[in-house]
Structure 1
Amino acid sequence: MKPRSLVSSRFVWALSCVGVLFLVACIPRGTENIVLVPGAFPSPPGVPPAGASVAEDREDRTDIDWKTMPRPLPEPRWPELDHDMATVPLWPSDPACAMHNVSFALRASRTFLVSFPRSGNSWTRYLVEGATGVATGAVYAGETLIHFGMKSQMRNLNGKVILIKIHANDRRRVPDHVPVILLIRNPADSIISFFNYKKGKGSKIKWLRNVTYGAYFTKDFRDHFDLELIQWKKLAIDQLLYSQRLLVIPYEELKKDPIAQVRRALAFLGVPADEGRLECLRRYPDGPVLGLQRQASFYENGLVDPYTPEQKLALAKAVAEVSELLRERNFPPLPAYNLTHK
């Protein structure tokens, strides 16, 4: 007669084997290579799971930075130009750059440049126009094109521009399947700059106006902050959740190295890099629009801290939420923001 302990151990071993076989049989096909990500959010309908659009050699990498590109990328080719429409020289006073123009495309596919207001959208468009030689537009009919004295009437410019500016997070206007470049700026800076744009005085040019020192400590500013922080976060989150083809460019990274971020935009748009154009952009990185990003002088010079501790906490929470979704789409988190002043 076998000892009871031996019988019991064999019974437990057999039962364990049966359990393992049962679990293996229940695993759905195609899930064997899933990598669990701590804190991962489920992918929404129509959006590939995190990593699905990223090259396989990135799966185990930990050095992803803001020069990394989402995959797959389109085959680079020069856009066909519409020679019946206007052409404007970009840098006519420089003999080394005078040959570079900006023109309208013949049949450009739609790509949206999505950003919260006062986040460098117009400057990004200038850089893309300089690098590609193709005009950009905006969904806002009253806006004048950067290098042309005409309004951005998209019904007349459909297929003629390489990027379309929009500040809204309306999925009907920016469908999930349409490529999107998402431009994100420190909310502490963009919210102040937008407040200055809406409420500032002292100049006929709306972008150059300044608010008074005391304007930051009013109910008007508190209401502005509460509304616009919600909009800043929602705009970024909607794109990160639903855009099926997405490139993210932080404004701070663009300022740090414009050419590196322009190269990312070119690869995403499927346009070859013209080193001659990029060299001219290095000479003239600001263009006619970067100066429009001036903030109220008190804030810009660090003379005022407009945010309460509660507002700073709300800013930090919003940034953390967006950074988490960036990680889920295999982008780096947002840069370390100074939530006090520029």
Structure 2
Amino acid sequence: MLLTLLIIIYLTTLNNYSDSVEISSSLSKSSGNFCIDPTVLPSPRPLTAFVSFPGSGNTWIRYLIQQSSGYLTGSVYHDATLAMKGFPGEGISNGSMVIVKTHEHGPSGRQFFTKAIFLVRNPFKILLSEFNRRSGGHLGHAPVSKFTDTGWKNYVLENVDHWSSFTLDWLNFKGPLLISRYEDFLNNLKGELSRVLSFLEVNFTDSGLDCVDKHRNGWQRRPQHYLPFDPFSMPSGNSSSSSSSLRQVVERKRKQVYQALNNFLRQSGQLSSISELP
């Protein structure tokens, strides 16, 4: 089924999407699908970006959106592993996809999108998650020894700045922008998923959400792994803050960015459906 679906999507991409595209309902379940076998949208739509900084948990949320909406999610990248394990929309960024994953920013990164969902996650969790992915793949973990050398410190100092500039940049997006928190999917999966699906203007059912909740992990979530120490306790060695730990450096950035996000939530009227970030 997966190979057939990849061929169909490839052909629709060559033809800039066709309204007449149909995928046979007799096709068997592809890898990673528990509630529904997602397909392309019945008619093309303007592109909706699914925006996140690497390490925010976008793979898991894409899985939840596919399984609850019944539509495939695309990406401006092509990850062969994801393409073969439940995300045949990898590498597809046209109107046949319900959302299109991107880690890009700046005017060139935003220009092709009409709407956007920005996935927010605590930067401490982001930095750990992405560091683990770089060392252990989508579901693996970095060896404990890697958290004790200068490579970890340099990674944190560089990437917390990137996370800050990336997040603040997307608040300049001119179209409809929904802020969605990874933590809200953990604590209120059906409520937050309903909020996202309503923004996407796709139909969903209570029974469908119940199924997704039951199979919430799929294969897309990295198992929890606890380090025997706090990796952010390492001195930053920053000339501007030589006495600060990595935790203090990241916390200062977090407060600055969360203040900007909360201001955006107030101005956009989203505080009626999402609480302020702490």
TM-score range, shorter chain: 0.7 to 0.9
Pick the structure with greater CA Rg: 1
Structure (1/2) with the larger helix percentage: 2
Q: Distance in 1 between matches of 2:94 and 2:47?
A: 8
Aligned to 1:169: 105
Is the 1:88–1:148 contact (alpha carbons within 8 Å) kept by the matching residues of 2? no
Aligned to 2:232: 307
1:48-88, Cα deviation, whole Å (9 max, x unpaired):
xxxxxxxxxxxxxxxxxxxxxxxxxxxxxxxx883147866
SS for the counterpart of 2:83 is coil
Q: Distance in 1 between matches of 2:33 and 2:60?
A: 20
* Distance change >3 Å, CA 81–CA 278, structure 1 → 2: farther
Aligned to 1:127: 64
Which residue type is aligned with residue 120 of structure 2? I
Q: How many angstroms does 1:160 deviate by? A: 1.2
Normalising by structure 2, what TM-score?
A: 0.76
Aligned to 1:145: 83
Q: How many angstroms does 1:114 deviate by? A: 0.8
**Which stretches in structure 2 are left out of the alignment for 5+ residues?**
1-18, 234-243
Which residue type is aligned with residue 288 of structure 1? W
Is the 2:32–2:86 contact (alpha carbons within 8 Å) kept by the matching residues of 1? no
Which residue type is aligned with residue 307 of structure 1? F
Q: Distance in 1 between matches of 2:183 and 2:159?
A: 20
Is the 2:262–2:277 contact (alpha carbons within 8 Å) kept by the matching residues of 1? no
CA RMSD in angstroms, aligned pairs only: 2.8
Is the 1:116–1:235 contact (alpha carbons within 8 Å) kept by the matching residues of 2? yes
Q: How many angstroms does 1:212 deviate by? A: 2.8
* One of 95, 105, 118 as aligned partner of 2:55: 118
Asked if 1:233 is matched to 2:158, the reply is no
Identity of aligned residues (%): 23
Aligned to 2:21: 82
Asked if 1:158 is matched to 2:94, the reply is yes
Asked if 1:103 is matched to 2:50, the reply is no
Aligned to 2:186: 255
* Distance change >3 Å, CA 225–CA 81, structure 1 → 2: farther
Q: Distance in 1 between matches of 2:28 and 2:110?
A: 29
Q: Distance in 2 between matches of 1:197 and 1:92?
A: 19
Q: Distance in 1 between matches of 2:127 and 2:44?
A: 36
Residues 257-276 of structure 1 mapped to structure 2, 5 A cutoff: 257-276=188-207
SS for the counterpart of 2:101 is strand
Q: Distance in 1 between matches of 2:38 and 2:116?
A: 22
Aligned to 2:124: 188
